[in-house]
Structure 1
Amino acid sequence: MNKAVRQNWQGQNMYVAIITDDSEAQPLADVLRQNLPSPLSYARVVSKGLPKAVVAEDAQVAAYQLNVTEVKIVDTKDTFK
């Protein structure tokens, strides 16, 4: 499966849905549009127990350039229309 993903993975026509609280939707959309780092966040109790390898990997993922071309915020009441 990993071989197939490496050979076929591309982002030219990929769509991603992110479900979040209303208060976080616009700030996240702005970060994505500007291609800025988007660090992961954890509850304090979870972050205290994370292995250093996970924290390091999270930093790499946060800095990955997505080159987003469009962001659309959809209200939950219009999600499955």
Structure 2
Amino acid sequence: MAQTFFPRVYTMVPASSPHPPNTEYKVSIGYELWDNTINTVMKVQMVYDGVIAGRRNPSYPLHSDDYYRVNDAIQKLHAEDTDA
């Protein structure tokens, strides 16, 4: 499958247990191809041992602060991105 997302800026947020060790959320602003149209998007991807987990949606353990830390990262990236 061809790459459809091209991050411009990103930050990594460590994931809490019960995610496996070395799991992170990659929070990015970049360009994504949707039906032959390039769109600027905010994207959160799961990363395991440094490898992006393709089409796996982010999951936030209910009794962790993962969602809040990812949301903080989104807010900071958006505020710092001069092209957003």
TM over 0.5: no
More helix by share: 1
More strand by share: 2
Higher CA-based Rg: 1
Bigger relative contact order (CA 8 A; separation at least 6): 1
After TM superposition, the score normalised by the length of structure 2 is: 0.32
